[in-house]
Amino acid sequence: MSIMGTRVVRVEDPRLLTAGGTYTDDLRVPELAGAAHVTFVRSPFAHARITGIDISAAQAEPGVVAVMTGQDLDELPAPPADNPVSEPLLAKDTVRFVGEPVALVVTDGRYQGEDAAELVSVDYEALTAVVDIPASIEGETLLFPASGSNVLAAGGAETSDDAAFADCDVVVERTIVNQRVAPVPLETRAAAAAWTDGKLTVWISTQNAHWSRDAIAGGLGLEPTAVRVITPDVGGGFGAKIGADPDGIAVAWAAKKTGRPVRWVESRSENLVAMTHGRGQRHILKIGGDRDGRIKAYRLDLVQDAGAYPRMAPLLATLTSLMASGVYDIPHVETRFQVALTNTTPIAAYRGAGRPEATAAIERAVDLFAAEIGMDPAEVRRRNVIPPDRFPYTTPGGAEYDTGEYAAALDKVLAAAGYDELRAEQARRRENGDPVQLGIGLSTYVEITGGVPEAGETARVVVHDDGTVTVFTGSSPHGQGHATSWAMLVQDELGIPMEKVTVLHGDTESIPVGIGTFGSRSLQLGGTAVHQAALEVKEKARELAANELEANTADLEFDVAGGLWRVRGTPDIGLDWGRLAQLAGPDGLVADVHFTSDKSTFPFGAHVAVVEVDTETGKTTLVRHVTVDDAGPVLNPILAEGQRQGGIAQGAAQALLEEVLYDPQGNPVTSTLVDYSFVTATELPSFELVQMETPTNLNPLGVKGIGEAGTIGSTPAVQNAVVDAVAHLGVRHIDMPTTPERVWTAINEARAGQ
Amino acid sequence: MKVTITVNGKQMEDDIEDRTLLVHFLRDIAGLTATNVGCDTTSCGACTVLLDGESVKSCTVLAAQADGGAVTTVEGLAGADGSLHPVQRAFHAEHGLQCGFCTPGMVMAAVSLLKENPHPTEQQVRTGLEGNLCRCTGYHNIVRAVLAASAEEGA
């Protein structure tokens, strides 16, 4: 029986549960014996000129090995002359956000680093901080004067087509905020490095060993072959650990410069200001349609906050634009975006990266439209989703949706949630004037997964002469369970029990080519590569067995139960995998695959969130969350459900609680986990997951990505539920996070306006 | 200063800097790296261990305060024969961990919770684990794991 689709518990767990993982700060390898500690000195100003740095007091501290500042950058390759907005490893002349690295100290001991960093004296001349988007676009103060503008990128429709809205019965416009949030993987950023015999070895907590290698080599002016990157266990990434940040590259530089192995792990307070944030968009929505529920035109005008440096913000805005029209068949869709620099922490990917923002915008817009025409939001969705016979469907924005059953997903989730009963209960509470009102929020979504599919992913499958298997994967797990999944794929194809399969990842020396884990790409690209490598191994085995048994390959069959290759009809003679590996030669039976795809896949689904809102205090409680998340066939339901549950929680957290805030001078006010409202177990219910599997035809496994779906679907469903709970009081919109204060204010404003 | 701390049944003695945190004593001196540091404000619970049977956040306890005490970390939870503690078993069976970073602290907090309240309701589990943060699981399977462990004898 195939192991595919079965609930296999993880092979990773026993180690993590008894000895703990080996995260970067846990490494006790010989190469790091006697390693010194790196501590960064970070800017306390959002925008300032550095007028002087005095390192003498720090240098005189006990245990100080070195102090490095922007003055030392001259020994590194100069940034490209044609890039006026490049980001240095250490700020030299100007700091552009609170938390930007200004200097680093290398000390014998961990605590000595804290002491010495305090003694690095930096003189700053404060500049006007550009904190909000309008000020950025206005451009009175420029972050990079040489660039001439704070607007990094702009795109989309050049003119507004108001005629498309002119023949709509109803047009609704609204400005909404998709707030900045912090990824907060439980393991903060960390790196260690050793420079030996002209070669650098870097251990770094990242989602991509190979991209990190290229970034480190490029930053330090080394050949990629002179850098080996190893990713030990990684304690979560969520997009914020894609590649290597300047801080990580600077740590590698410190090892090279001092000749001493070094370690670095940032504190949480550093992490909350210096690791990239996510989201950070402002949307101006315009939606129009007829009173029969048909949506005819949609415009999304968005500004993406980039933070202080251009990391990934332009890509996020592009993805939001691409996915703007969601699951709906809308004749006229118009998007426009600007990406603006501010004196805040740089923005990059966070679970969903541009797609949750697109979904939040259109799902809010659809609810606003439904409220305006007085139609049930489920019915409006049903009347506008792209029907199954239109696939592959190319959106007005140019996305080519592969497969989708949007109405089926919606109907399924409504049935599972008991939608009609929920509406009846809501009506009862409204009628009774119950102080605790019920809100029912929907979202129907489609998203794009596969993250750079044309770059693909690599796999090497090796069968050894003892019958065991090693899989080398270019993909890079940080909690997803690749070791379990890849072993299942091997067992399924080769019949070798997964206990005999070892999965290795995240070492640029043993795996020369790899891309990594982001954009919900692992199974569809990395998993397919493993699957295809296993198939190749099987074909090689068949030929070797045919040769050895003097039979036709067509007559060979593999007996899974006995683990033997046999000639059909001669059950007494067979060859096991170990024997075939011996026959294959000293390297064993090997297949290398680099699977690429020229197209992305488009998972979809529908969520129902149920909240209770105390209208007297504004407090919201998420009481149920029901979802259909269809990413094609499921390899291991335990793992897929885990991805969905974690994703739902992060989306609900954005809708209800979490927000990174700055004061008008650009000082972060959510820089510890006391101030940042990280979601806890008490604020969430258990989730109700409904299964649905619609395969794609873009890879042999038929799979799409599941990693980000939960977040994309849940964020607007929860926000819509909060608004829905108080809609009868006249409230049409509440920005995220829908804190008690905001809900309470919205209720009172609506009442005052009536 | 000199401290003597019994860690997972083994007595450890060392001359340490006064300000040494218990978590760093465990990680750097006892060499037990399962206990992780996830924040600097006693918020995340990744560093939770048992000190004389009570759960504490070891990033907010000085090693000096544990002098003469007995600490249990996740490394000391399984039986001498390697058999997993019911909470460890339940986390495995219920997929209560993904990246694993919060796990040692979460498991120790769950052990402590079940010692105080052997048969908690779902809401009591959620409240009991409020001081332990997880970004991967959405807590769903962690809560299920603790409930499953509570149903097992000996938890």
State the maximum Cα–Cα separation within chain B, in Å, rounded to a whole number: 45
Kindly state whether A680 is in contact with chain B, defined as any CB-CB distance less than 8 angstroms.
Answer: yes
Of residues B36, B107, B126, nearest to A17 (C-beta)? B107
Residues of B in contact with A273 (CB under 8 A): none
Give the separation between CA A541 and CA A546, rounded to whole angstroms: 8
In this prediction, residue B154 carries a pLDDT of: 53
Report A:641-670 residues touching B (Cβ under 8 A): 641-642, 645-650
Rounded-to-integer distance, Cα B129 and Cα B149, Å: 15
- Read off the pLDDT of each residue in A662-686 and give the average, rounded to a whole number: 98
pLDDT band at B153 (very low <50, low <70, confident <90, very high): low
The whole-number average pLDDT for the span A188-211 is 98
Minimum-distance CB partner of A681 among B37, B101, B130: B130
A234 touches chain B (CB under 8 A): yes
Please indicate whether residue A587 or residue B124 has the higher confidence score (pLDDT). B124
Cβ distance of B135 and A185 shorter than 8 Å: yes
Interface of A with B in 264-323 (CB under 8 A): 265, 267-269
| Nearest residue, CB atoms, B140 vs list A183, A479, A645 | A645
- H or E segment and range at residue A462: strand A457-463
CA distance A345 to A660: 10
Site from B135, B141, B144 to mutate, A interface, most A CB atoms within 10 angstroms = B135
Q: Tell me the C-alpha distance between A62 and A108, whole Å.
A: 9
A705 to A276, A309, A522: CA distances (angstroms) = 23, 29, 7
Q: What is the ipTM of this complex?
A: 0.98
Helix (H, G, I), strand (E, B) or coil at A243: coil
pLDDT tier for residue A572 given thresholds of 50, 70 and 90: confident
Residue A80 DSSP one-character state: P
Q: What pLDDT score was predicted for residue A559?
A: 86
Q: Do B34 and A19 lie within an 8 Å CB cutoff?
A: yes
Tell me the nearest-neighbour CA distance from B11 into chain A, angstroms: 19
Give residue-wise pLDDT tens across range B26-74: 999 999 999 999 999 999 999 999 999 999 999 999 999 999 999 999 9
What is the percent of chain A with per-residue pLDDT over 70, rounded to a whole number? 100
Chain B residue at shortest CA distance from A18: B75
Cβ–Cβ gap A479/B130 under 8 Å: no
Q: Please tell me which residue, A631 or A754, carries the higher pLDDT value.
A: A631
Scanning every residue of chain B, which has its alpha carbon at the shortest distance from the alpha carbon of A186?
Answer: B38
Residue-wise pLDDT for A391-427, tens only, equals 999 999 999 999 999 999 999 999 999 999 999 999 9
Q: Could you tell me which chain B residue has the CA closest to the CA of A20?
A: B34
Find the CB nearest A9 among B37, B93, B135: B93
Could you check whether the bond before residue A737 is cis, i.e. omega within 30 degrees of 0? yes
How far is residue A13's CA from residue A285's CA, in Å, rounded to a whole number?
A: 46
Element (H, E) at A252: helix A246-258
Mean pLDDT of chain A: 97
Q: How confident is the model at residue A571 (pLDDT cuts 50, 70, 90)?
A: confident
Q: What pLDDT sits at residue A560?
A: 80
CB proximity under 8 Å: A 187-226 to B: 187-188
Question: Using 50, 70 and 90 to split pLDDT, how confident is the model at A81?
Answer: confident
In the predicted structure, residue A303 carries a pLDDT above the cut 50: yes
State the smallest CA–CA distance between residue B47 and chain A in angstroms: 11
A325 touches A290 (CB < 8 A):
no
Pairs of residues, one from chain A and one from chain B, whose beta carbons lie less than 8 Å apart:
177
How far apart CA A174 and CA A361 sit, in angstroms, is 10
State whether A18 and B38 contact (CB < 8 Å). no
Give kind and range of the element (H or E) at residue A614: strand A604-614
Enumerate the residues of chain A whose CB falls inside 8 A of the CB of residue B107. 17
**Nearest chain B CA: its distance from A11 CA (Å):** 9
A388 CB within 8 Å of a chain B CB: no
pLDDT of amino acid A94: 98
DSSP 3-state assignment of A38?
strand
| Residue B155: predicted pLDDT | 46
Rounded to a whole number, what is the distance in Å from the CA of A99 to chain B's nearest CA?
A: 16
Which residues does chain B have within 8 Å of residue A480's beta carbon, measured at their own beta carbons?
Answer: 98
In this prediction, residues A612-617 reach a mean pLDDT of: 98
The whole-number pLDDT of residue A569 equals 85
pLDDT one-digit tens code per residue, A686-699:
999 999 999 999 99
| Residues from chain A contacting residue B84 (CB–CB below 8 Å) | 14, 17-18
As a whole number of angstroms, the distance between CA B33 and CA A19 comes to 8
| Residue A675 distance to chain B (closest CA, Å) | 10
Tell me what percent of the residues of chain A surpass a pLDDT of 90: 96
Q: Are the CB atoms for A404 and A414 separated by under 8 Å?
A: no
Residue-level pLDDT at A666: 98
Percent of chain B topping pLDDT 90:
96
For A475-516, strand residue ranges (E) read: 501-505
